[in-house]
Amino acid sequence: MSFRTFLIGGGWDAAAAAAVYGPFLRAAADAAGGGAPRIGCVIVDEGDGAGQFARYEPVLRKVADCVPVPLLVPLGERFDVGLLRDVQGLLVCGGLTPAYQEVFSDCLDRLPGLLAEYGIPYAGFSAGAAVAARDALVGGWLDGGVAVCPEDSAEDLEEVEVRAGLGIVPFAVDVHAAQWGNLPRLIAAAARHGLAHGVALDENTMAEVTADGRVRVAGLGRAHSVRPGTDGGVLVRAYGDGEEFAAAG
């Protein structure tokens, strides 16, 4: 059984909520047999997990009939894949991206298979989108000591860093692209780490990875596709609401 994947570049604009969360919640309702799906919201809890969940819950409930469930993972602990048995949709939320990668480090090779087995759609918001990649761009603001994005985007890292991710999507992901100036970081990571494809998402923008290997864009911003060029550079193309492109490199 397959599962569907939805990547959200961050952002809290109410005008975009239906576009960025609606397709995921409809997929979760399908997994629930048409009833109100239980949406597991994975949050790395640094002491404010309940407060963070309180931001997501009303947004999800306003978009569709659903039951958000907090799955709080204390900083330094690991995600329990057994929790997947009790939900029909998995939303991995935002926060410090390296911490989210560490939370899933014990189940990188198991979680995608379990999502497929249970037919649970995956949505990643900000950090949750970044760790969905096989090669997860977790942060940094320097490339060989040269600044490639604002230091405020660094995620507590110096050099741009790529770690093992969940492998749910075949391309690297960066987020808050236009708002935080992160597109150059993805370009630098693609060149230094030999990434075949990367996608930088603006806030209030969702990219759905379809079963036939396409990426469908929805929301207020753009998805910026970064691929290697023939001259050692990269090719960048932006796609807006209703447009799509190939997921593979």
Question: What's the predicted TM-score (pTM) here?
Answer: 0.96
pLDDT in tens, 102-141: 999 999 999 999 999 999 999 999 999 999 999 999 999 9
Range with the lowest mean pLDDT among 36-40, 65-69, 233-237?
A: 233-237
pLDDT band, very low/low/confident/very high, at 249 (cuts 50, 70, 90):
confident
SS3 12: coil
Q: Which amino acid is at 2?
A: S
pLDDT in tens, 14-33: 999 999 999 999 999 999 99
pLDDT in tens, 178-196: 999 999 999 999 988 999 9
pLDDT band, very low/low/confident/very high, at 2 (cuts 50, 70, 90):
low
Alpha helices (runs of H) in 145-246, residue ranges in sequence order: 177-180, 183-193
**Which pair of tokens denotes residue 69?**
């469930």
Cα distance between residue 46 and residue 72, in whole Å: 9
Cα distance between residue 62 and residue 192, in whole Å: 42
pLDDT band, very low/low/confident/very high, at 232 (cuts 50, 70, 90):
confident
Give percent of the chain above pLDDT 70. Answer: 99
Cα distance between residue 212 and residue 137, in whole Å: 24
